[in-house]
Amino acid sequence: MSSISIRAITANDWQTYKTLRLQSLQDAPNAFGSTYAEEVGRSDEVWATRVQNALASQKAQIFFALLDGQACGLVWCKSLDDVEATVALYQMWVAPQARRCGVGSALIHAAIAWAQSKAAQCLQLEVTTNETAAMRFYQQHGFVACGAHIALRNNSNLRMQPMLRLITN
């Protein structure tokens, strides 16, 4: 039986973050606002600074999922300045070999716990409308569609569905 663990990343984890992020953009190019082509050319300094700035802000936390000790997923949580008591989830991704064994659920539970520690009352995210498995996953975890579809990125026909999940203590 496989062992799943979740841990908050540290500034020293920027290389693992970079690896997972680039893998996610290759695996699911229509699931994210940025693209592999945009991200792959970034310098190591940019990747390290991105992680350092997020962690230093006290308004963001990135979690890794590990399956048998190997990083296989991530989620970026960020308290929103413009929406009171709300934490947004970004970059949620689980490697194909780690899907359907509880890794995604473990990441969501870590995000909920972090949001609760920030006194958030809801989580929000956006999911591409053609990613029906992802949408079902989020619905199974209490997220509901809210608001009109929005463009995934400029010059794209892909649309995203905003979703919310209330947090109960």
Tell me the pLDDT tens digit for each residue of 40-88.
999 999 999 999 999 999 899 999 999 999 999 999 999 987 777 999 9
Measure CA of the first residue to CA of the last residue in the chain; give whole Å.
31
Predicted pLDDT at 139: 95
Q: What is the reported pLDDT for 2?
A: 78
Q: What is the pLDDT of residue 15?
A: 97
For residues 74 and 91, the answer to whether their CB atoms sit within 8 Å is: yes
pTM of the model: 0.93
Quick one: pLDDT at residue 1? Answer: 65
Which residue in 47, 60, 53 sits closest to 89, CA to CA? Answer: 60
- pLDDT-flagged residues of the chain (< 70): 1, 169
Measure the CA–CA gap between 142 and 164, rounded to whole angstroms: 8
Tell which CATH architecture fits domain 4-166: 3-Layer(aba) Sandwich (3.40)
Task: Give the pLDDT confidence score for residue 154 in this predicted structure.
Answer: 83
Give the pLDDT confidence score for residue 157 in this predicted structure: 86
